[in-house]
């Protein structure tokens, strides 16, 4: 079970800021995205613009294998605009 | 003089209250430094012909602070003579002409602090998880920095 955090446009599309999700311990970042879109189909439109932050490290959506621990934080990161 | 009493410090803050240039620049002043360089990012009242009413910022706070700490660490590696660094970013609503971000760096001579300030703002825009929403009369828009390393918007 991981904590999924939503920010900016992704929070608007998902309709929430955080939730817990049950996912396999080992999963590629793309598969993780697909799990999340199953729960929140409106997120599909931003697929090409987002990355993840897993345990506060950026991860691109792709084949990268994630090894997740219970309670890990996974954040959906739309294109940033600080400063 | 005993320089160990002025150990280099990083001052990092994300807050929703109005930012003060005096307060942030005073944090980095040091008797060993002849230069304090400053960057202030302020809210413009227009974007592509549309009137901007105000900006709203949100952040992945814990990760934003971590990423800003990384920027400070990088600055000290590239410019070892830099003394103090302060990076303050405002969250929530920021009215027109008010500051969204203030960066202040002190160093013995001006070259390093000027370069370090530029590096800080450029890297912040590329890597710190903070988002800005521009509010217009009748709509709003989530902005995207061109420095963002994963986004390829065709604007």
Q: Is residue A82 part of a domain?
A: no
Q: Is residue A12 part of a domain?
A: yes
State which residue of chain B sits closest to A54, comparing Cα positions. Answer: B63
Per DSSP, helices labelled H in chain B are: 21-28, 61-78, 110-127
Q: Is residue A32 part of a domain?
A: yes
Out of A5, A7, A80, name the one closest to residue B148 (CB): A80
- CATH assignment of the domain containing A29: 3.10.20.30
Reported as a single tens digit per residue, the pLDDT across A8-56 is 999 999 999 999 999 999 999 999 999 999 999 999 999 999 999 999 9
For chain B, the domains span 9-134
Buried-exposed string B89-124: b where 16+ CB fall within 10 A, e elsewhere? bbbeebeeeebbbbbbbbbeeeebbbbbbebbbebb
User: What are the pLDDT tens digits along chain B (155 aa)?
Assistant: 555 568 999 999 999 999 999 999 999 999 999 999 999 999 888 888 899 999 999 999 999 999 999 999 999 999 999 999 999 999 999 999 899 999 999 999 999 999 999 999 999 999 999 999 999 988 999 999 999 988 754 33
- Give the span between the Cα atoms of A83 and B89, in whole angstroms: 7
B143 contact residues in A (CB cutoff 8 A): 81
What letter would DSSP give residue A44?
Answer: G
pTM above 0.95, yes or no: no
Which CATH number does B9-134 carry?
3.90.1170.40
B131 CA to chain A: closest CA distance, Å?
A: 5
Chain A interface mutation, best of B124, B151, B154, highest count of A Cβ atoms under 10 Å: B151
What letter would DSSP give residue B3?
Answer: G
């Amino acid at each position: 079970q991981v904590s999924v955090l939503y920010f900016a446009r992704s929070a608007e599309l998902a309709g929430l800021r955080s939730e817990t999700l049950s996912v396999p311990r080992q999963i590629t970042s793309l598969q993780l995205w697909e799990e999340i879109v199953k729960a929140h189909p409106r997120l599909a439109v931003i697929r090409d613009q987002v990355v993840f932050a897993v345990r506060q490290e950026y991860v691109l959506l792709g084949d990268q294998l994630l090894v997740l621990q219970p309670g890990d934080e996974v954040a959906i990161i739309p294109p940033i605009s600080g400063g | 003089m005993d320089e160990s009493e002025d150990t280099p410090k990083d001052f990092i803050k994300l807050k929703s209250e109005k930012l003060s240039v005096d307060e942030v620049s005073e944090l980095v002043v040091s008797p060993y430094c002849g230069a304090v360089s400053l960057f202030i990012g302020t809210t413009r009242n227009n974007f592509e012909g549309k009137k901007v009413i105000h900006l709203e910022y949100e952040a992945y706070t814990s990760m934003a602070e971590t990423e800003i700490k990384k920027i400070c660490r990088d600055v000290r590696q590239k410019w070892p003579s830099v003394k103090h660094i302060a990076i303050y970013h405002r969250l929530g609503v920021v009215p027109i002409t008010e500051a969204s971000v203030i960066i202040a760096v002190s160093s013995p001579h001006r070259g390093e602090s000027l370069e370090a300030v530029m590096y800080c703002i450029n890297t912040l825009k590329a890597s710190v998880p903070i988002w800005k929403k521009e509010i217009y009369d009748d709509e709003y828009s989530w902005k995207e920095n061109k420095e963002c390393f994963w986004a390829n918007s065709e604007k």
